[in-house]
Amino acid sequence: MKKNRKLRRAWQVFGASLLAFTVFISLDTFVLTRSYQSSAVNMNTSVFEPAETSESVNSADAASSADYSDGNITVTMSEYEYENTAVYVADVQLSSAEYLKTAFAKNTYGKNVTETTSSMAENNNAVLAINGDYYGVQERGYVIRNGVVYRDKAGTYEVLCIFADGSMKVVDPADYTAQELVELGVWQAFSFGPGLVEEGSVAVSENDEVGRAKASNPRTAIGMISPLHYVFVVSDGRTGESEGLSLYQLAQFMRELGVQTAYNLDGGGSSTMVFMGQLINNPTGSGNKIKERAVSDIVYIG
């Protein structure tokens, strides 16, 4: 009898400890806000020179059809219906890659620090913004933003590098350290993926997916037609009006836009595009309801 009581007590202590640890780790993962110091390896910003193959922005031509043009930045918005999915495309031409910027939620690099894409866009006077790679939910994967290394732990996902000369390349993090990437002139690096289009060819198969996600989803992607000429793409999904795209469909769509390189950013409920302060797509940040999700970071033009 006494033995049974002791055993029950031991089980109670163990159960309570397991529960307490699970609560702690849940809070640590989803709730507790933590800001980090960056490794602060800055790139030499004097390298903002367009690559030789870049297209120069012809503001006179672009202005006639562009939705925004200021001499350094030209943005043309389009909407497509592709595979029963609404796809929003921003064609962006820049005079320098320094106009392709990124921002952290609440201007803080950290964990569980989030803000909506539209709020971050407004705070940074962005002409155009899309959600980034939601670095805050991962513990590994290079984070290089505006030429500064914030996280130098290599992850397992392919890394998108946008160079100061305006070119774009998908690299294997096993091949480079974050410092090496900065020395090579990387201005922005994202760790999500996968790379959708590489050297003008679709780089994913029909069965590729992000983790074990559903095949059709809202998506966010960025692609380069030529250095300093990009497309920002966001597709709706999970709604009756818009099915969503598989990675393969998204890659095909990007290739049809004429990109040489394209990369998948955080999708699902995070997928958001904001242009001139207006929400362009229908984000499903709260289940199937149209609502913006708070995310860690944005990619923006401004």
Partner 1 sequence: MYISDEKLYEQLKISVRYLLAAIFTAFFGAVYEHFGRGVWSAYMVYAFAVPLVLGALPSMLHAVHMLGALMHEGKAAEISTFTRFAWGTGIAALTAGSIFKGVLDIYGTTNSLTAVYPAIGGSMLAAAAVSVLLNRCRAEETC
Phi, psi for residue 147 in degrees, rounded to 5: 80, 5
Q: Which of 16, 20, 22, 49 binds partner 1 (CB under 8 A)?
A: 22
Residue 25 near partner 1 by CB under 8 A: yes
Tokens of 248: 């393969």
Q: Minimum distance between the CB of residue 214 and partner 1, rounded to whole angstroms?
A: 3
Residue 81 three-state SS: strand
Q: Which of 16, 20, 32, 213 binds partner 1 (CB under 8 A)?
A: 213
H/E element, 126? none
Q: Which stretch binds partner 1 (CB under 8 A): 98-106, 161-169, 206-214, 257-265?
A: 206-214
H/E element, 208? none
Q: Which of 12, 16, 20, 29 binds partner 1 (CB under 8 A)?
A: 29
Q: Minimum distance between the CB of residue 58 and partner 1, rounded to whole angstroms?
A: 41
Q: Minimum distance between the CB of residue 192 and partner 1, rounded to whole angstroms?
A: 10
The interface with partner 1 within residues 264-283 (CB under 8 A) comprises 268
The interface with partner 1 within residues 55-84 (CB under 8 A) comprises none
What's the count of helices (H) and strands (E) in the chain, helices before strands? 5, 23
Tokens of 157: 């996902």
Alpha carbon distance 83, 101 (integer Å): 31
The interface with partner 1 within residues 103-162 (CB under 8 A) comprises 134, 137-140
Tokens of 97: 């890659």
Alpha carbon distance 18, 53 (integer Å): 59
Q: Which of 145, 151, 229, 238 binds partner 1 (CB under 8 A)?
A: 238
Q: Which of 12, 14, 79, 205 binds partner 1 (CB under 8 A)?
A: 14
Which residues contact residue 95 at a Cβ distance below 8 angstroms, ignoring those fewer than 6 apart? 50, 56, 57, 71, 72, 73, 228
